[in-house]
Amino acid sequence: MTESELKALIVGNGNIPRHIAIIMDGNGRWAQMRGKPRVFGHQRGMNAVRAVVEGCRELGCDALTLFAFSEENWKRPRSEVKVLMRLLRKYIEKEREELRKNGIRLKCLGRLSKIDPEPRRAIEEAETYTADCSDMVLNLAISYGSRSEIVDAARHLCREAAAGRLDPESVDESTVEAALYTAGIPDPDLLIRTSGEMRISNFLLWQIAYTEIFITPILWPDFTKKDLFEAIGEFQKRDRRFGSVKSKK
């Protein structure tokens, strides 16, 4: 089935995920399989980023969250980290006009204070530049770890309680959700992980409680819009019960 046929089938089914999250894995292996340095895979992976952003926008998704750089990634060789930060700045500066033109608001999730000044400035400028866009949100998880996100939310709620602005007995799930980096954004309906790895890698642990998970062996630089549509097609076949069961007639 061609890409256009898949898209037509998905649209015809009508059950489009409101929010898709992707763990973009396999850049390094893709490069090593070709005798190239790991950074070559990161560079080629930018094409896949562009493809999935376009695909989600075409389908009318409300949000797309891409796991771009984890807190654990700071442990990688400094040379690789510098290249990743340079690619991040280059992507944001190159794509922000296209994002704005297509009504896509950029939002970055994570402990951004750890990021070097130049890429951080590019992030802040792009967030401001696209702030009034309302067709879709593109979340880039950078210097991100879900446990850290939950810790930051807990610290915020503790400060609010200590200041007398929050009654601890009133805290519920919605209170916690409002303190997360993803506040105001619906939980992911679909999580895609490339490269075949069977783990979550500390990504959106709170938000994916009832998310459908799709694992593909495709390495991220090879992931295409058609692959995105195939994952969504698989999602549309699933019976989402959210812990309940359907009553029998």
73 is catalytic: yes
**Residue 210 pLDDT class (50, 70, 90 cuts):** very high
| Residue 160 in domain | no
25 is catalytic: yes
What is the domain extent for residue 99?
3-9+17-145+187-236
Q: pLDDT tens for residues 176-202?
A: 999 999 999 999 999 999 999 999 999
**Residue 247 pLDDT class (50, 70, 90 cuts):** low
What's the mean pLDDT in 155-171? 98
Predicted confidence (pLDDT) at residue 241 exceeds the cutoff of 90: no
Number of separate domains in the chain: 1
Residue labelled with tokens 């089938």: 9
pTM of the entire predicted model: 0.94
| Residue 247 in domain | no
| Residue 28 in domain | yes
**Residue 1 pLDDT class (50, 70, 90 cuts):** confident
**Residue 246 pLDDT class (50, 70, 90 cuts):** low
| Residue 61 in domain | yes
| Residue 244 in domain | no
Predicted confidence (pLDDT) at residue 14 exceeds the cutoff of 60: yes
Annotated catalytic residue, options 13, 15, 25, 189: 25
Q: pLDDT tens for residues 67-110?
A: 999 999 999 988 889 989 999 999 999 999 999 999 999 999 99
The arrangement of strands across the sheet holding 19-23 comes to 104-109, 136-144, 63-70, 19-23, 190-193, 212-215
Cβ within 8 Å of residue 1, ≥6 positions away:
9
The pLDDT value recorded for residue 228 is 98
Annotated catalytic residue, options 15, 47, 73, 132: 73
| Residue 113 in domain | yes
| Residue 217 in domain | yes
**Number of Cβ atoms within 10 Å of the Cβ of 97:** 12
Predicted confidence (pLDDT) at residue 219 exceeds the cutoff of 70: yes
| Residue 153 in domain | no
Q: E strand or H helix at 183, and its extent?
A: none
Q: E strand or H helix at 240, and its extent?
A: none
Cβ within 8 Å of residue 166, ≥6 positions away:
157, 160, 175
Q: pLDDT tens for residues 32-66?
A: 999 999 989 999 999 999 999 999 999 999 999 99
The pLDDT value recorded for residue 242 is 72
Predicted confidence (pLDDT) at residue 156 exceeds the cutoff of 60: yes
**Residue 10 pLDDT class (50, 70, 90 cuts):** very high
Q: pLDDT tens for residues 15-29?
A: 999 999 999 999 999
CATH code, domain with 136: 3.40.1180.10
Q: pLDDT tens for residues 124-150?
A: 999 999 999 999 999 999 999 999 999
